[in-house]
A and B are shown apart, each in its own frame.
Chain A
Amino acid sequence: MINLSEVIETNAMIEKENLDVRTITLGISLLDCMSDDIDAVCRKIYDRITEKAENLVRTGEDIEREYAIPIVNKRISVTPIGIVGSAAASSPEDFARIAAVLDKAAKEVGVNFLGGYSALPVKGMTDAERLLIQSIPMALSSTERICSSVALGSTKVGINMDAVALMGRVIKESAERTKDTDSSACTKLVVFCNAPDDNPFMAGAFHGVTETDAVINVGVSGPGVIKHAVDSVPDADFEELAETIKRTAFKVTRLGQLVAKEASRRMGIPFGIVDLSLAPTPAIGDSISDILEGMGLERTGAPGTTAALALLNDQVKKGGIMASSYVGGLSGAFIPVSEDQGMINAVNAGALTIEKLEAMTCICSVGLDMIAIPGDVPESTISGIIADEMAIGMVNQKTTAVRIIPVIGKDVGDTAYFGGLLGYAPIMAVSRFSSEKFIARGGRIPAPVHSFRN
């Protein structure tokens, strides 16, 4: 039987160490909402989402109350709209209409974000996908809750450099359109290599075409809990440190598994996966950077940071995989800058640069995340940064992503403010050497040799 000290430990994690379930994300297939009539597509999408997600928020709140565990976000992911709208949309404006309908449906069911305004031009781009991508600046600047993602490459097929070049322009244009709010549209736009079909985390969540009609995916959290555990063994060697993190990750993930199964049972919708990612928030004590510094680094970014992150990421997976029957999504430590106070401090102290962050993305999910750069950085440089990150994902057979914000009108030394969970970010310096001729080549980078496994 459960004893008092176990109950005290669990509740201390929730009350003092910011343990929560970061998101219950309901994936909804919109494949059968396709039509060649744009009005019909809009109507079907709205009806499908409001019907399937009708009880999502209420179910989440009931679980929160009954287990006394905060579930911070209830969200929705849908089939990539670049597919769903392909027969009906004949212009970027048509796609933006679908975005408006998605936004309205998200508000109706009470979710704070809806992901899946997405395209998957991993190898080649359809005409419809091109229109959707062109509509992204318009869609993100005119909606409140829509998140967009674009998959640009994979280990299996290589990198679509035409799409990489286009996304540099789209990110700049999205930034321009929302320059009054520190280019906030770019916080809702992410590009991927090896994009997962079942990621519950925004901005990159979409409901893959390999998925069933509806599915419940859950993202756990818990940097504060891991930090506390690391602090409890200040003089331990790496074996004991690793074991401590692994045991704690097991407990955190079991909570996610419980919530996922319970939400699935109550809504009558299959359970998909638990995403093990440690997701930080701007709250004090809920930081990945603090964990790394707790391991003995003066500042995140100091030599040893990549090794510390590798250990953290691996132990989180080892503990998590045993705790859940289905692990998926991104499942690693997120290292966003703006959403993590410790990372912000490290940047401000001059300890952490984009180049060091890039090295860190080689061994963790998910990539260069929530990084603010000067607004005058050329679009080809943004494409160059994306290409580098896609290459890391392609060669290392892992998911990588870029969510970068060129903040119009601001420069190194300034700060961009995004508000809420998105936090704020110091503007980081970017190399001023040009990538223009490289990006202008166009075409596709071939798949790496180790993709030929058949």
Chain B
Amino acid sequence: MSKSIITVVGKDQVGIIAKVCTYLADNDVNILDISQTIVDGFFNMMMIADADGSAKEFRALSLELEELGKKMGCIIKLQREEIFNSMQRI
């Protein structure tokens, strides 16, 4: 299983998590963990997800999530987990 990290950054508002989760469920992306915090007044959420079961390519998921974020006025990123593992772990 290759894990992916989804981050959502923006102004806090009702339904952000619901919309992201709905999109992920519709595309067979399994959520393994969710955490969130407020940094400098901004809502920061991180999901660890498994996108291996999705019929869509990683690139397409990434573009669609980015688009979904724009509609909600926040920034959504889908990134492969390796970037964080390699930078943050010895």
A-B pairs with beta carbons under 8 A, tally = 67
B24 within 8 Å of A (CB atoms): no
A62 within 8 Å of B (CB atoms): yes
Interface pair B46/A4, CB less than 8 Å apart: yes
Interface pair A66/B79, CB less than 8 Å apart: yes
B83 within 8 Å of A (CB atoms): yes
Which residues of chain B have C-beta atoms less than 8 A from A66's C-beta?
58-59, 62, 79-80
Looking at the complex, which of A7-15, A82-90, A101-109, A204-212 is the stretch in contact with chain B?
A7-15
6 cross-chain pairs, A with B, having the tightest CB-CB distances, nearest first: A258-B86, A6-B88, A67-B83, A254-B86, A251-B87, A2-B84
A262 to B62, CA, bound (A): 18
Interface pair B87/A7, CB less than 8 Å apart: no
Which residues of chain A have C-beta atoms less than 8 A from B37's C-beta?
4-5
Interface pair A69/B84, CB less than 8 Å apart: no
Which residues of chain A have C-beta atoms less than 8 A from B86's C-beta?
254-255, 257-258
A5 to B37, CA, bound (A): 9
Interface residues of A in 1-28 (CB under 8 A from B): 1-11
Interface residues of B in 34-90 (CB under 8 A from A): 35-37, 39, 44, 46, 48, 58-59, 62-63, 77-88, 90
Contact of B82 among A3, A4, A7, A67 (CB under 8 A): A67
Which residues of chain B have C-beta atoms less than 8 A from A254's C-beta?
86-87
Which residues of chain A have C-beta atoms less than 8 A from B83's C-beta?
10, 67-69, 255, 258
A65 within 8 Å of B (CB atoms): yes
Interface pair B39/A8, CB less than 8 Å apart: yes
Contact of B7 among A3, A11, A257, A262 (CB under 8 A): A11
Q: Please report the total number of A residues contacting B with Cβ < 8 Å.
A: 24
A66 to B58, CA, bound (A): 7
A11 to B88, CA, bound (A): 12
B33 within 8 Å of A (CB atoms): yes
- Determine the residue in chain B with the shortest Cβ distance to A6: B88
A11 to B82, CA, bound (A): 13
B5 within 8 Å of A (CB atoms): yes
Interface pair B87/A67, CB less than 8 Å apart: no
Which residues of chain B have C-beta atoms less than 8 A from A67's C-beta?
79-80, 82-83
Contact string against B for A residues 234-254, beta-carbon threshold 8 Å, 1 for contact and 0 otherwise:
000000000000000001001
A66 to B63, CA, bound (A): 10
- Determine the residue in chain B with the shortest Cβ distance to A66: B80
